[in-house]
Amino acid sequence: MILTAVLAAVLFGGAPLAPNASSSAIASFQVSHSDPTPHKKAPKKSSKASKAHSPNDTTPSRKAAPEPAFTVTSLPNAILPKKRIVVYYGNPLSKKMGVLGEYPESVMIAKLQQEVHNFAVADPATPVAPGFHLIVSVAQGAPGKNGTYRLRMTDSMIDHWCKLAESKGYLIFLDVQVGHSTVQAELQPLMPYLKRPYVHLALDPEFSMHHGSEGVVPGRKVGVMDAAEINYAIKTLADVVAQNKLPPKILVIHRYTQKMVTNYREIRPVPAVQVVMNMDGFGQPWLKRDSYDAYERMQPVQYYGFKLFYKNDKPMLTREEVVKLKPSPLFITFQ
């Protein structure tokens, strides 16, 4: 039995910034707010489940996976599947949202380079491209001035991280938690950045409070994002590529339950946009294996991603175990 329900807890790194984080604090790269919203505790696995799984079991089920609904050939100069991408995730204003906020930049970059080396050793046949995964629209526990339950990062912050990525030869993924806003509204301020060839996009359905989660405060219920919204983002990125003569963009969609992405068979990659379904959520190795099998291998879209939690995976899969997952994920996030 696939016990992916355990991963339905609110993610450690997806917790919203405290509602009282002021704009002035953000602009000055300082934090003066309370701890993020508490996380729901994952239910304990049953003794039966414990006996049924080896702690380090990452073998997929034998059930044959369906073919993706759409197959496309990417434009020249596409990153995937030629390289594996390894990124550090987070927001620099919060130590509890991921690695980007936990360490000084120089320390963080050194740690990221070590992970790039680790994956190069684990899979010498696949070159590794490093990157940042920066949360730029952060879901909030309070409505804010415009009632959207999300807080946009300042242009100065986003520009700083984009320039840092460019100076290092890294990729950067701008991650959007829409709250009560919309994908359409949150993409507009990001258009100047998406015109840069090294800047890509990520969407987090967990904090999209629409459809079955309409009107709910982010963090109190797992959000929902439909294929129509994802396809809007794909079209927007494809237009950016065409208008600016760029190499293909990558769109990352976080997922750790079945219901948080609806109508996945209608998600339509195009030659100018490569879509990664990223297996999010933390847990024991067998649980993450089962979830990856259920929502990645058995519900294919195009490319596969996998998130590792330094503090919440108990234990964290080794890099060798991750690359041996079937199919082998080409987008690795560290939180």
CATH number (domain holding residue 142): 3.20.20
User: Does residue 27 fall inside a structural domain?
Assistant: no
> Picking from 15-29, 77-91, 260-274, which range would have the lowest pLDDT averaged per residue?
15-29
What is each CA distance from 317 to 45, 121, 308, in whole angstroms?
A: 18, 15, 8
- DSSP per residue over 275-293, as a string? EEEEE-----HHHHHHHHI
User: Does residue 36 fall inside a structural domain?
Assistant: no
Write the DSSP symbol of residue 157.
Answer: H
- Is residue 7 scored above 80 in pLDDT? no
Q: What is the pLDDT of residue 162?
A: 98
Q: What is the pLDDT of residue 16?
A: 33
Range of the domain at 125: 74-334
Q: What is the pLDDT of residue 244?
A: 97
User: Does residue 107 fall inside a structural domain?
Assistant: yes
> Picking from 39-43, 161-165, 283-287, which range would have the lowest pLDDT averaged per residue?
39-43
Q: What is the pLDDT of residue 54?
A: 52
- Is residue 33 scored above 80 in pLDDT? no
Q: What is the pLDDT of residue 59?
A: 61
User: Does residue 192 fall inside a structural domain?
Assistant: yes
- DSSP per residue over 170-218, as a string? -EEEEEE--BTS-HHHHHGGGHHHHTSTTEEEEE-GGGB--GGGTTPPT
User: Does residue 59 fall inside a structural domain?
Assistant: no
Q: What is the pLDDT of residue 214?
A: 84
What is the total count of domains within the chain?
1
Q: What is the pLDDT of residue 21?
A: 31
Residues 6+ positions from 176 with CB-CB distance below 8 Å: 136, 137, 183, 186, 187, 190, 201, 202, 203, 204
User: Does residue 25 fall inside a structural domain?
Assistant: no
User: Does residue 314 fall inside a structural domain?
Assistant: yes
Digit-coded pLDDT (tens) for 108-117: 999 999 999 9
- Please tell me the number of Cα atoms within 13 Å of 247 on its side-chain side: 11
